[in-house]
């Protein structure tokens, strides 16, 4: 490793393993540890720092980033970067890195520990042994020969599946981005549909991120489809299981037990009924709580930061590929535009993507297309993969999911900076066109509708009857649910062309012929599920889709 020409100054904001600190010192970095700093305190001490290191406790806000005069990189020793303002970092040319692989084994092993604990009632057995050595009600079951259903075959799900095969379980897996019946990435694991997995599995373990598509993934209906007497394990994210429905399934005897490392509300209230159940095993979000995991993520982030400061190599960059600060600042709004376009289309299609088609123009017409390509790919994958996907591993995830990214060879400086079309496995497709104005990304066209939309916050897309009063009805409904509208983009939809339909005399006639309109409702806050369901039930509303940026 090439020694730095000047000592890089690194501020450690949360506890870090000694091995990681030694990596910084060996590379000639000046290391200072300041724990528990609030925003105002960070703003006072961030000047002159080249790098910040955090876990989950310290928040790196826009104010902190703007107070920095030399900051080049922020490192998160862990996966989630919700505590870092990545947009502000990108705008200032600051790379944000995470360590998506450091806690993989610890999280996988915890899921397996819960598997054994469920099979042999270990928490209850411990209490019974201390209370008179009682065996009644503790008859367990062997795991050998049983069927384990793994929902989500990311890095943790794969580690669970591989180890379960070694325990001689039959392993089924479902991943929405891997086709049922296709060749499994884990030899010996059968890929199948979610319904089939639930119906056949004695144990089901969840390993997917939490997003709008996976919230309450195990709903009342899906829990009812599970094999009678089955048990469920969630060591991934709270909110993946409808907890009220889970209690009903346990009360009825349909399910025999559950093991949960995560809950929808953490810490849970004392009145949470799950706390009092003997058939539920709980642990306080311990997936990454092992000596090895904590050391691994600390060492990994130290090596990544040193590699970036010394050699300019950005490994596991969450917000941008490797680039110097000046280039990153110039590209920042365009990369954000590409990422938001990919996320927008992926959320709207709500199905595995088969192909992305990217056309560059404007300021991007003459530059290197690699970075906006990566940004679009990252955006398209994040709704399903969360913070585990970044600018380094996005191409690998895309290959695993058979997602093809095609870039049109023609580039026209007179056109908007970016046009992105997404095509799903079912053949459905959506397209958005965007550009940058005054340093801010905007969507300027969605399908055939010309718009002026800032891709920020929450967004509802409606297809509704093109008639008076609809806007008032929607606005009134959202207002009743406490949701404030920021901006509305409206326009009539063209009627679908058919071989037997005579073409209308004009474009305006074609648009009017469908009788429907499209609405994009930019909101200041996300609506509740109840609000979305009520909106979809309005007689004039044909379809409702929700997007969160």
**Segment 319-369, tens digit of pLDDT:** 866 555 667 678 889 999 999 999 999 999 988 999 999 999 998 988 888
pLDDT at 512: 45
Check if 104-282 and 458-549 are the same fold: no
504 pLDDT exceeds 50? Answer: no
211 pLDDT exceeds 70? Answer: yes
239 pLDDT exceeds 80? Answer: yes
The arithmetic mean of pLDDT across residues 191-205, rounded, is 96
Which residue has tokens 């296709």?
182
Pairing of strands 449-453, 458-465: unpaired
CATH fold of the domain at 322-455: 60s Ribosomal Protein L30; Chain: A; (3.30.1330)
Q: Cβ contacts of residue 130 below 8 Å, gap of 6+?
A: none
Is residue 285 among the annotated active site residues? yes
Q: SS3 for 388? A: helix
Is residue 237 among the annotated active site residues? yes
Q: 158, 174, 237, 401: which one is catalytic?
A: 237
Residue 145, phi-psi category: left (phi > 0), alpha (psi -120 to 50), beta (remainder): left
| Range of weakest confidence among 92-101, 123-132, 231-240, 526-535 | 92-101
Length of the chain: 549
The arithmetic mean of pLDDT across residues 420-445, rounded, is 95
CATH number for region 1-101+291-319 = 3.40.50.720
Is residue 70 among the annotated active site residues? no
- Asked if residues 116 and 122 have their Cβ atoms less than 8 Å apart, the reply is yes
pLDDT at 324: 58
Residue 402, phi-psi category: left (phi > 0), alpha (psi -120 to 50), beta (remainder): left
495 pLDDT exceeds 80? Answer: no
The arithmetic mean of pLDDT across residues 110-138, rounded, is 95
Report whether the peptide linkage leading into residue 267 is cis, meaning its omega lies within 30 degrees of zero. Answer: yes
The arithmetic mean of pLDDT across residues 273-289, rounded, is 94
Domain spanning 104-282: CATH superfamily: NAD(P)-binding Rossmann-like Domain (3.40.50.720)
- This prediction's pTM: 0.72
CA 241, CA 214: separation in Å to the nearest integer?
Answer: 9
The arithmetic mean of pLDDT across residues 91-103, rounded, is 87
Q: 142, 266, 410, 502: which one is catalytic?
A: 266
- Asked if residues 356 and 376 have their Cβ atoms less than 8 Å apart, the reply is yes
**Mean pLDDT of the residues in the chain:** 90
Residue 246's closest CA among 16, 461, 234?
234
Tokens of 194: 């979610």
47 pLDDT exceeds 80? Answer: yes
CA 22, CA 54: separation in Å to the nearest integer?
Answer: 16
Which residue ranges make up each domain of the chain?
1-101+291-319, 104-282, 322-455, 458-549
Residue 317, classified by CB atoms within 10 Å of its CB into exposed (0-12), middle (13-18) or buried (19+), is buried
Residue 81's closest CA among 100, 64, 62, 94?
100
Residue 125's closest CA among 113, 112, 114, 140?
140
Sign of torsion, CA 262 264 268 271? Answer: negative
Pairing of strands 440-446, 449-453: antiparallel
Q: Which CATH number fits domain 458-549: 3.20.20.70, 3.30.1330.20, 3.30.70.260, 3.40.640.10?
A: 3.30.70.260
In 10 A of CB 128, how many CB atoms? 16
Q: 285, 295, 329, 445: which one is catalytic?
A: 285
């Amino acid at each position: 490793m090439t020694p730095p020409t000047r000592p890089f100054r690194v501020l450690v904001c949360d506890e870090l393993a000694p091995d990681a600190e030694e990596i910084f010192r060996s590379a000639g970095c000046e290391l200072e540890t300041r724990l528990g700093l609030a925003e105002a305190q960070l703003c006072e001490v961030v000047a002159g720092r080249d790098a910040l290191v955090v876990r989950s406790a310290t928040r790196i806000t826009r104010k902190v980033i703007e107070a920095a005069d030399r900051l080049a990189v922020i490192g998160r020793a862990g996966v989630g970067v919700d505590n870092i303002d990545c947009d502000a970092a990108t705008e200032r040319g600051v790379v944000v890195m995470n360590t998506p692989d450091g806690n993989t084994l610890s999280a996988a092993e915890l899921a397996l520990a819960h598997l054994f604990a469920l099979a042999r009632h270990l928490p209850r057995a411990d209490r019974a042994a201390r209370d008179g050595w009682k065996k009644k009600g503790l008859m367990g079951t062997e795991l050998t020969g049983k069927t384990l259903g793994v929902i989500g075959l990311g890095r943790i799900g794969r580690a669970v599946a591989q180890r379960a095969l070694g325990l001689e379980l039959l392993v089924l897996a479902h991943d929405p981005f891997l086709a049922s019946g296709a060749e499994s990435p884990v030899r010996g694991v059968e890929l199948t549909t979610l319904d089939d997995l639930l119906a056949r599995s004695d144990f089901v373990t969840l390993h997917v991120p939490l997003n709008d598509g996976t919230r309450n993934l195990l709903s009342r209906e899906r829990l009812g489809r599970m094999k009678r007497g089955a048990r469920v394990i969630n060591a991934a994210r709270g909110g993946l299981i409808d907890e009220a429905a889970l209690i009903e399934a346990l009360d009825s005897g349909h399910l025999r037990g559950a093991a949960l490392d995560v809950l929808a509300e953490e810490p849970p209230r004392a009145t949470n009924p799950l706390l009092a159940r003997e058939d539920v095993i709980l642990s306080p979000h311990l997936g990454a709580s092992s000596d090895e995991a904590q050391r691994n993520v600390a060492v990994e982030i130290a090596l990544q930061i040193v590699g970036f400061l010394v050699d300019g190599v950005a490994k596991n960059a969450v917000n941008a590929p490797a680039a110097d600060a000046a280039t990153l600042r110039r590209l920042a709004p365009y990369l954000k535009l590409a990422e938001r376009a990919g996320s927008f289309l992926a959320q709207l299609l709500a199905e595995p993507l088969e192909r992305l088609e990217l056309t560059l123009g404007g300021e991007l017409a003459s530059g290197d297309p690699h970075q906006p390509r990566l940004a679009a790919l990252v955006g398209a994958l994040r709704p399903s993969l969360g913070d585990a996907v970044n600018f380094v591993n996005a191409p690998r995830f895309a290959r695993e999911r058979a997602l093809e990214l095609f870039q049109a060879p023609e580039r026209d400086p007179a056109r908007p900076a970016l046009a992105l079309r997404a095509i799903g496995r079912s053949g459905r497709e959506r397209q958005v066109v965007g550009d940058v104005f005054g340093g801010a990304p905007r969507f300027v066209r969605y399908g055939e509708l010309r718009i002026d939309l800032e891709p920020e916050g929450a967004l509802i897309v409606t297809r509704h009857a093109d008639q008076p009063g609809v806007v008032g009805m929607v606005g009134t409904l959202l207002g009743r649910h406490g949701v404030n509208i920021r901006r509305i983009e409206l326009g009539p939809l063209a009627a679908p062309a058919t071989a037997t339909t005579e073409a209308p005399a004009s474009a305006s006639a074609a648009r009017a012929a469908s009788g429907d309109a499209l609405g994009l409702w930019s909101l200041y806050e996300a609506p509740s599920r109840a609000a979305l369901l009520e909106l979809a039930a309005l007689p004039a509303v044909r379809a409702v889709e929700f997007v969160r940026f």
